[in-house]
Structure 1
Amino acid sequence: MREKDSLAVDWVVWSMRWIWLACLLLFTFFNPIREDLSLAFLLLGGAAAYNLVLVLLLYFKLFPPVLSFLTSLVDALFLVAFLYASGGGTGPLILFGLFPILVTGFRYDVMTSLAIAVIPVLGGGIFYFLEWYGAGQTESPFSLAVNVTVFLLSAVLSSLVSGQEREMIQTTEEKALGDLQAARDRAKAIYEMTSTFSTTLNYSHVLDTMLDISMGLGGVTQEGAHSVGIVLLHQQEGDVSSLGVGAARNLSRRDMDRKLAGTAGAIEQALSSAEPVIVERIENDPELRQFSSLHRCRSAICIPLRAGFEIYGVVILGSPRTGAYTAEHMEFLTAFCNQTVVALQNAQLYHRLREEKEKIIDAEGQARKKLARDLHDGPTQSVAAIAMRLNYTRLLLEREPEKVKEELEKLEALARRTTKEIRTMLFTLRPVILETQGLVVALEQYLKQLEEEAGLVVHLETSDLGDHVNSEIEGVAFSVIDEAVTNAKKYAQARNIWVRLGFEDNLFVVTVEDDGWGFDVADVLDSYDQRGSLGFINMRERAELVEGTWTIESTIGQGTKVTLIVPLSEEEI
């Protein structure tokens, strides 16, 4: 079967044909065999005209592929006719028959080249027979055999050489097409990845999309159900850290529940070096071989999921083909997984924002409930008492006027106390002084008002906070202190309260301690969902807003201690 020739090759053959015709002309002119060469020169003129027609077809690109073979056939027939006309059928002129044979051999397969070679071979044989039969004089049969052998060997060798070259060209073209297809697949993967990651904030969807695209890339994993994809994510259970399956493809149910330590083999190497690792013998890897689904795979690649210096886990792709992964795959899959981590971070950030939003909404609702309770327990009852005493004073004015003055003094004291309660309540709701003069000054004013109203002894112990604590942390600290002090005043019947502020290394520590009745912390927390007040939850959630921790310690008869610990950034330290 012939290979499709390019137009450039046809131009080269056309140029060589002029040289071939010129050599025939010169050889015939300077070494005439017959006296009458008019027919030979006429054939040369026809061949020249024929070659001019071919150049027009080439120039206007009207040269169909089949015409390339026909030109070789015409060249061979022309040579036989020319040899007959010039009388050189059995002489050295017959070697000019190599031109159509070599051209055909370099462009087509062996059989086609031999078919063209048969034409000058038969022509030479016929000329040899005619001379032997007609004149009884001819060249040696050995000379004829040499010519035939040269023609046939030329046809075979030229086809074999050109066949190897064509195979090399075909292999190169196939590789180039494969590379082009791989580039298209990767461009498509990047588009799909960008499209998906920009429209979803669900981390499970992000992982599934990443696996689908990675396993669908041309030249990476094309084995369908025989290939395996696993995403292992860091999981923390108490003090134990492990790698669990976050998403997978073609993984057995048993393997889905498997957890690894990530401390050996290719996984450990990928996590520690933050670089992809190719595994050619999975059965020798101490952790990968634990996945029974990977037993049918002969090669695998482990790509770490990282962003900066933070590593989230590792992606494992397995293929039943040996050497399925190359350095090119490593580079692309690494970049692809890094983009996946960015999408994961965005998804996590979105979920955190939703959680924070829900916490803020819940905190606002709890603040409203607390305000309603405080208004009901304090100012509302005080105002009701004032109204009752005013009514009582009106009756006294009619019946016992001399007692009115005393009652009015009591009313004035009650009104002043109510005013202080309302001011304290407003102060705790939005302490403007906290924003203008800082936490220490705000606490001093708040605790002073508390001592005047409740008769408590409050001890404030604080160091110079300077600029180490930002306004957000100050707001959380004030809210926690207010809640803890209010609980001590209402429920603990405390007489003394100690409020301490200070630093320990890079931590801001706040403690509120009282000498009240105390309580069983475990018992209260177990039944906390049945309580109307959610002060503990509010304090814990406020601490989490600044990435802090909140703890409470209490023993019956020995008071209560509330602790808030907030880590400080390097800039704040």
Structure 2
Amino acid sequence: MSQIPSAPTWRDWYVFGIRWLIIGGFVLLLMMARNITSLPTDLNNALLVAAAANCLLAVTLLLPFKTASTAVTLITDWLILGALAWVSTEFPMLVTGIATIMILVSLLQANATYSLFQALGSLILAAAGLLNVGTPIDVTDYVFGPARLPLLEIALVGAVVVISAYLLERMIWQQKRTFKALEAARSAQIVDIHERTRAIYEMTTTFRETLSFERILNAALDAGQLGLSGHTRRALVAGVLLFQADDPGLCVVAARRMTRGDMNVIAPGKGGLIGEALTEGVPIIGG
């Protein structure tokens, strides 16, 4: 079973919770800006729309519609921003602030496409709010009017967030790729350990239960090939060398993939890897 973590479920609930802070804080700031102590009708309606949009996200997370949570989050973000921008057209700083915050929160998705749509939607809604929706709009107000600087600021924040989201998305993708590689390596190591354990058990059983010299040699060849597996990509040649009474060195008594000439070679065993292995009494792995 894969142990690679997916997108955390708490992320969407964090967005749900942080929205209440954004909505509540914005309403308080707007009341302070208007110098009022009670909710007027327009602000009350905007608050209801924003609260309903946020509750819609919670319903999506609670019901089996979690696959649609990303789209619902984006749409409800726009609803909240549009409702709050609608009632604060006389305060460009507040509109700019709420649009900027909504764009920044989109970084939690770690998705450049999502952040791009969020930035574009927020820019359009902020522009509509700043230019008083419902009144005749002069296009020159976008370029020369008082809405120019706030909109440029929102566009700048949006560009920074989109680039940051792209880099974050790439970083997460690379981490997942690394996790998969580590998981594959770990699985290969476990399989290799199982193979080595099985080979050792079979060799021990063969040595204990049989008097067949040929079977013992085959078990030794299997163990040698298994011990070198993974250390090289080259084709392996296995051989069993023993001292014989009439020969001055080690003779090949069993082999795999050796040439006939190599089979007839007598190794003195006084130097090289063979000599080192005989002297040290431990496995020697050389290049």
Q: Are 2:45 and 1:38 equivalent residues in the alignment?
A: yes
* SS at structure 1 position matched to 2:18: helix
Q: Displacement, 1:147?
A: 1.9
Which of 172, 181, 189 is the equivalent residue of 1:179? Answer: 189
Relative distance call for 1:53 and 1:142 in structure 2 (3 A) is closer
Displacement of 1:195 in angstroms is: 4.5
Question: How far apart, in 2, do the equivalents of 1:4 and 1:103 lie?
Answer: 22
**1:15 CA drift (Å):** 4.2
Match for 2:199 among 189, 198, 212?
189
CA deviation string 1:454-474 (max 9, x = no partner): xxxxxxxxxxxxxxxxxxxxx
- The C-alpha deviation readout for 1:532-560, integer Å capped at 9, x for no partner, is xxxxxxxxxxxxxxxxxxxxxxxxxxxxx
SS at 2:242 equivalent: strand
1:229 and 1:128 map into 2 onto residues whose CA distance is 75
For residues 45-444 of structure 1, the aligned pairs below 5 Å read: 45-48=52-55, 50-51=57-58, 54=61, 56=62, 67=67, 70-87=68-85, 90-98=95-103, 101-105=106-110, 113-130=111-128, 131-132=130-131, 134=137, 136=141, 137-140=146-149, 141-216=151-226, 219-220=229-230, 223=233, 226-237=235-246, 240-280=247-287
CA drift at 1:271:
0.6
Does the C-alpha gap of structure 1 residues 278 and 5 become closer, same or farther in structure 2, counting only changes over 3 Å? closer
Alpha-carbon spacing, 1:235–1:217, altered in 2? closer, same or farther (3 Å): closer
Q: Which residue of structure 2 aligns with residue 420 of structure 1?
A: none
Amino acid at match of 2:275: E
Change (3 A) 1:52 1:194: farther
Q: 1:23 aligns with which of 6, 21, 24?
A: 21
Could you report, residue by residue, the CA deviation over 1:205-240 in whole angstroms, capped at 9, with x for unpaired residues?
A: 11212323442469536858x211122111221xx5
In structure 2, the residue matched to 1:556 is none
Structure with a larger share of its residues in strand: 1
Q: 2:8 aligns with which of 7, 10, 21?
A: 10
- Work out the CA distance in 2 between the residues paired with 1:63 and 1:213: 55
Asked if 2 retains the 8 angstrom alpha-carbon contact of 1:241 and 1:261, the reply is yes
Q: CA distance change for structure 1 residues 39 and 188 in 2, over 3 Å: closer, same or farther?
A: farther
Higher RCO, 1 or 2 (CA under 8 Å, sep at least 6)?
Answer: 2
Name the CA shift for 1:104/1:275 in 2 (closer, same or farther; >3 Å).
same
- Counterpart of 1:91 in 2: which secondary structure? helix
**Cα contact 1:73–1:100 (8 A) shared by 2:** no
Q: What is the CA–CA distance in structure 2 between the aligned matches of 1:258 and 1:202, rounded to whole Å?
A: 25
Q: CA deviation at 1:199?
A: 4.2
Q: Identity over the aligned pairs, expressed in percent?
A: 20
How has the CA–CA distance of structure 1 residues 191 and 122 changed in structure 2, closer, same or farther, with 3 Å as cutoff? same
Q: Which residue of 1 aligns with 2:35?
A: none
Q: Name the amino acid aligned to 1:134.
A: I
- The offset of 1:186, in angstroms, is 2.1
Length-normalised TM-score, structure 2: 0.75
CA contact (8 A) 2:242 2:250 kept: yes
**Change in 2 beyond 3 A, CA 1:104/1:53:** closer
Evaluate the alpha carbon distance shift between residue 181 and residue 85 of structure 1 in structure 2; reply closer, same or farther with a 3 A threshold.
Answer: same
- Greater Rg over alpha carbons, structure: 1
Q: Which amino acid letter does the alignment assign opposite residue 256 of structure 1?
A: M
Are the structure 2 counterparts of residues 11 and 126 from structure 1 closer, same or farther at C-alpha, using a change threshold of 3 Å?
closer
Read off the aligned partner of 2:100 and give its amino acid letter: L
| Number of positions where the alignment pairs a residue of Structure 1 with one of Structure 2 | 258
Q: For residues 245 and 199 of structure 1, do their structure 2 counterparts lie closer, same or farther at Cα, with a shift above 3 Å needed?
A: same
> TM-score normalised to the size of structure 1?
0.40
TM superposition shift of 1:128:
4.9
Tell me how far 1:50 sits from its aligned partner: 3.3
Give the CA deviation at 1:246.
Answer: 1.9
Q: Is the 8 A contact 2:277 2:284 kept in 1?
A: yes
Alpha-carbon contact 2:240-2:252 (below 8 Å) kept = yes
1:254, distance to aligned residue in structure 2 (A) = 0.9
Three-state SS of the structure 2 residue aligned to 1:236 is: coil
Deviation readout 1:138-165 (Å, 9 max, x if unpaired): 1415313312212212211211332333
Q: Which amino acid aligns with 1:248?
A: A
Match of 2:51, SS? helix
Partner SS state of residue 282, structure 2? coil
Please give the per-residue CA displacement for 1:247-297, whole angstroms capped at 9, x wherever unaligned. Answer: 2121111101111100111211111121222212xxxxxxxxxxxxxxxxx
